[in-house]
C-alpha cells in the first residue's frame, strides 16, 4: 500500500469518527435525515407506482374497447352472411380473429401489469408505514434521550453538592448552643458563689433557726398549760 493510499485511509478513518461523533451528539438531525431520505424515496416509488397504475388503467380501457368491437363484429357477421355478402363476411371474420388475438394478448399484459400494480401499491403502503414507524421511533428515542439527560444532570447536580458544608454548619450550630448553655451555667455558678448569694443562704438559715426556736417555745408553753390543767383537775377531785 502506497503512501497516498495510507493517507487516504487515515483521513477516511478520522472523518468517519468525526461524523460518528457528530451524529451521536445530534440524533435528531440523524433521524430527520433518515426520514427525509425515506420520504424522497417514497415520492420516487409513488411516481413509479403511478406509472404502473396508469398502464393498467390504459390496458383496461383498451380491453373494454376491443371487447365492444368484438361484440359488434359478432353482431354484424350473421347479417353479412344472411345477405350473401361474402366479401364483407370475410372482412368481419378477419377482424374478429385479430380482435380475439389482441384481446388475449391485452388480457395477458393486463394480468401482468395488474399484478405489478398490486405489488407496487402494497410496497408503497408498507414503505409509508415504515416512515410513520420511524417517526414514532424518533419521538420515543428523543424523549428517552431527553429524560436520560435530565436524570444525568440532576445526578451530577446532586453529586456536586458537598455534604461537608451541611455537616460543618450543623456542628457550628451545636457548638454555639453548647457554648450558650455553658455561659448560662457559669452565670448560675457565679451567682451561687457571690456574697449576696451566701448572705441570702445565711438569712434563710437564720430564719429557719428563729422559726425553730419559736416552735420549741410554743411546744414548752403548750406543755406547761397542759400540766397546769391536769393539776387543777386533780385538786377538784
- pLDDT higher than 50, residue 226: yes
For the stretch 157-195, what's the b/e string if a residue is b when 16 or more beta carbons lie within 10 angstroms of its beta carbon? eeeeeeeeeeeeeeeeeeeeeeeeeeeeeeeeeeeeeee
| pLDDT at residue 69 in the model | 94
36's grid cell: 427525509
* Nearest alpha carbon to residue 118 among 128, 106, 126: 126
Residues 219 and 137 reside in one and the same domain: no
Contacts of 1 (CB under 8 A, 6+ apart): 9
Q: How confident is the model at residue 169 (pLDDT cuts 50, 70, 90)?
A: confident
Residue 167 lies in a domain: no
One domain, residues 210 and 152 = no
Report the distance separating Cα 61 and Cα 41, nearest Å: 30
d(CA 48, CA 40): 13
Share of the chain above pLDDT 70, in %: 73
> What is the domain count for the chain?
2
Please give the Cα distance from 27 to 138 (Å, whole number): 9
Answer yes or no: is 50 within a domain.
Answer: yes
Q: Which domain holds residue 228?
A: 198-237
CATH code, domain carrying 63: 1.10.287.1700
Name the residue with cell 487516504. 8
Q: In this model, does residue 191 exceed pLDDT 70?
A: no
Q: What's the half-sphere exposure (Cβ side, CA atoms, 13 Å) at 28?
A: 6
Distance (Å, whole) CA 6 – CA 220: 130
pLDDT confidence of 156, banded at 50, 70, 90? confident
Dihedral (Cα; 166, 169, 173, 176), 10-degree rounding:
160
| Widest CA span in the chain | 196
Mean pLDDT of 155-180: 71
Same domain membership, residue 226 and residue 129: no
pLDDT (tens digit per residue) in 92-140 = 999 999 999 999 999 999 999 999 989 988 888 888 888 899 889 888 8
pLDDT of residue 142: 86
Q: What is the pLDDT of residue 159?
A: 67
Instruction: Name the pTM for this structure.
Output: 0.48
Q: What is the pLDDT of residue 111?
A: 94
pLDDT of residue 11: 40
Nearest Cα neighbor of 129 from 42, 14, 29 is 42
Mean pLDDT, the chain, integer? 78
Q: What is the pLDDT of residues 30-85, one digit of tens each?
A: 888 888 988 998 888 888 889 899 999 999 999 999 999 999 999 999 998 998 88
Is the same domain home to 10 and 117?
Answer: yes
Helices (H) and strands (E) in the chain, counts: 5, 0
Angle, vertex CA 204, rays to CA 200 and CA 210, nearest 5: 140
Is residue 206 located within the same domain as residue 146? Answer: no
Tell me: do 112 and 38 sit in the same domain.
yes
Do both 226 and 136 map to the same domain?
no
Same domain, 74 and 122: yes
**What are the residues whose beta carbons fall under 8 Å from the beta carbon of 69, sequence distance 6 or more?**
95, 99
pLDDT at 157: 73
Q: What is the pLDDT of residue 177?
A: 82
Q: How many angstroms separate the CA atoms of 55 and 48, rounded?
A: 11
Residue 218: per-residue pLDDT = 80
Amino acid at each position: 500500500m502506497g503512501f497516498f493510499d495510507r493517507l487516504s485511509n487515515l483521513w477516511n478513518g478520522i472523518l468517519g469518527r468525526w461524523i460518528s461523533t457528530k451524529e451521536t451528539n445530534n440524533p435528531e438531525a440523524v433521524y430527520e435525515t433518515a426520514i427525509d431520505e425515506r420520504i424522497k424515496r417514497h415520492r420516487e416509488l409513488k411516481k413509479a407506482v403511478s406509472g404502473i397504475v396508469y398502464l393498467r388503467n390504459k390496458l383496461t380501457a383498451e380491453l373494454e374497447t376491443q371487447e365492444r368491437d368484438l361484440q359488434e363484429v359478432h353482431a354484424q357477421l350473421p347479417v353479412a352472411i344472411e345477405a350473401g355478402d361474402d366479401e364483407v363476411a370475410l372482412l368481419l371474420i378477419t377482424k374478429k380473429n385479430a380482435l380475439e388475438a389482441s384481446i388475449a394478448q391485452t388480457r395477458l399484459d393486463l394480468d401482468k401489469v395488474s399484478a405489478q400494480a398490486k405489488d407496487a401499491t402494497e410496497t408503497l403502503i408498507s414503505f409509508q408505514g415504515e416512515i410513520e414507524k420511524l417517526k414514532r421511533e424518533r419521538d420515543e428515542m428523543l424523549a428517552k434521550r431527553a429524560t436520560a439527560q435530565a436524570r444525568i444532570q440532576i445526578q451530577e447536580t446532586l453529586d456536586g453538592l458537598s455534604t461537608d458544608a451541611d455537616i460543618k454548619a450543623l456542628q457550628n450550630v451545636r457548638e454555639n448552643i453548647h457554648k450558650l448553655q455553658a455561659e448560662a451555667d457559669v452565670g448560675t455558678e457565679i451567682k451561687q458563689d457571690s456574697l449576696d448569694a451566701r448572705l441570702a443562704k445565711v438569712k434563710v438559715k437564720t430564719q429557719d433557726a428563729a422559726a425553730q426556736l419559736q416552735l420549741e417555745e410554743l411546744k414548752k408553753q403548750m406543755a406547761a398549760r397542759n400540766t397546769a390543767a391536769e393539776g387543777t383537775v386533780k385538786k377538784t377531785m
